[in-house]
Amino acid sequence: MSDRFDILGDESRQLLKKQNHPGWCGPMLATLTEDYFSNDDWIFERKLDGERVLVFREGNEVRLMTRNRKQINNTYPELVDALLAQACGDFVADGEVVAFDGKVTSFSRLQGRMQVRDPDTARRSGIAVTYYLFDLMHLDGHDTTALPLRERKRLLKRAIDFKAPLRFSAHRNADGESYHKEACERAWEGLIAKDANAPYVHSRSEKWLKFKCVREQEFVIGGFTDPKGSRAGFGALMLGYHEQGKLRYAGLVGTGYNNELLEDLGGRLKKLEQDEPPFSDPDLPGTGVHWVRPELVGQVGFTEWTGSGKLRHPRFLGLRRDKNPKDVVREST
């Protein structure tokens, strides 16, 4: 067994399983809650506003994968370089790629990299990215997912040489309530609370919980309205989420776009146009509207849900490529 495992006790070693390097393993997903708490058996990490990325390192090959199995090496070539430079040649880890606007992670700024497909263009973009790693699912021929989270994080910190642009996702023990208050005061997106004794599962779990400071989530784009005046591309996007197998209408978002995004996204939407609305609701806008196949997902910030189930004061933050439209559901109540 690898020397990297010598920090584990006998009980934890028995939880390790021999495993060939996996071609894929789905990410563990957090559940939204508004029940903030403190607990000695939980840890609390900063919720980063970026792109969830899994890294698979096997010998001289690195694969950066989104959570819906898209390889994105060309988008983040400097991360590939940093991961190939690691002495450890067999690991699978979980993390988040972010771009900073000052001291705050900015999904809007990261959009300038997420849409890039050429590695040379990515390097010249002027948008620096950082890869925060927070979990470890495979190491040196062994499946580590059955280990408690604290043990997985100890192994992760030992396996990776954390120098820029790689960072270890630090955490705070026990005191979730005061840390959440501090996170909101710092204008962070929130925290992720994690059961420190839980295994890593490849699904959504209540062992990981989202403590948000702002209301923000993904929505499916199901249509757009005509632009007015000198505006290019489109006027507003029609948003929705899935509920009991149907796409429910959540309202229009008309702010948060620059001219480049209006033109680029407008062109993509025109190629997706269809005659019938993808939404199941009867009360839909009827003039100046174009329906589209519900294939694109956008990140949207908002103040609250109205009593009729629509978004109040929504603002478009960017497109998501790491989210399957079928997985988009209403998170906030």
Helix (H) or strand (E) holding 12: helix 10-13
Report whether 187 contacts 104 (CB < 8 A): yes
Ordered mean pLDDT values, 10 residues apiece, the chain (333 residues) = 90 96 97 94 95 97 96 98 98 97 87 93 97 98 98 97 97 95 89 98 97 90 93 94 96 93 94 96 90 97 86 92 93 66
Check if 47 is active-site.
Answer: yes
* CA–CA separation, 24 and 65 (whole Å): 9
Q: Which residue has the tokens 């998501």?
A: 320
Residue where a domain terminates, one of 166, 196, 212: 212
**Count of structural domains within the chain:** 2
Q: Does 41 reside within a domain?
A: yes
Q: Does 179 reside within a domain?
A: yes
Q: In terms of pTM, does the model score above 0.85?
A: no
Spatial CB neighbours of 299, under 8 Å, sequence gap ≥ 6: 107, 216, 217, 218, 316, 317, 318, 319, 320
Same domain as 202, residue 70: yes
Residue 30's closest CA among 198, 182, 249, 148? 198
Q: Does 6 reside within a domain?
A: no
Same domain as 294, residue 149: no
Same domain as 163, residue 115: yes
According to the model, what pLDDT value does residue 102 have?
A: 86
AA letter at 184:
C
Torsion of CA 3, 6, 11, 16, to 10 degrees: -20
Same domain as 250, residue 168: no
Residue 311's domain comprises 215-327
Same domain as 150, residue 163: yes
Q: How many CA atoms lie within 13 A of 177 on its CB side?
A: 6
Residue 299's closest CA among 109, 146, 164, 158? 109
- Per-residue CA distances from 145 to 16, 69, 78 (Å): 8, 19, 28
DSSP string, 61-81: EEEEEETTS-B-TTT-HHHHH
Q: Does 33 reside within a domain?
A: yes
Residue where a domain terminates, one of 158, 179, 212: 212
* CA–CA separation, 27 and 330 (whole Å): 20
Same domain as 231, residue 105: no
Same domain as 60, residue 168: yes
According to the model, what pLDDT value does residue 333 have?
A: 52
Sign of the Cα pseudo-torsion (205, 210, 211, 216, in order)? negative
Q: Does 332 reside within a domain?
A: no
Same domain as 123, residue 48: yes
* CA–CA separation, 244 and 87 (whole Å): 47
CATH number for the domain spanning 82: value is 3.30.470.30
CATH number for the domain spanning 281: value is 2.40.50.140
Q: Does 8 reside within a domain?
A: no
* CA–CA separation, 187 and 214 (whole Å): 9
Residue where a domain terminates, one of 193, 212, 231: 212
Same domain as 88, residue 192: yes
Same domain as 227, residue 206: no
Same domain as 157, residue 100: yes
Q: Does 5 reside within a domain?
A: no
| Residue 192, φ and ψ in degrees, nearest 5 | -115, 120
Q: Among the options 47, 153, 207, 212, which is catalytic?
A: 47
Instruction: Determine the distance from the C-alpha atom of residue 187 to the mean position of all C-alpha atoms in its chain, rounded to a whole number.
Output: 18
| Residue 178, φ and ψ in degrees, nearest 5 | -70, -35
Q: Does 272 reside within a domain?
A: yes
Same domain as 219, residue 208: no
* CA–CA separation, 304 and 313 (whole Å): 8
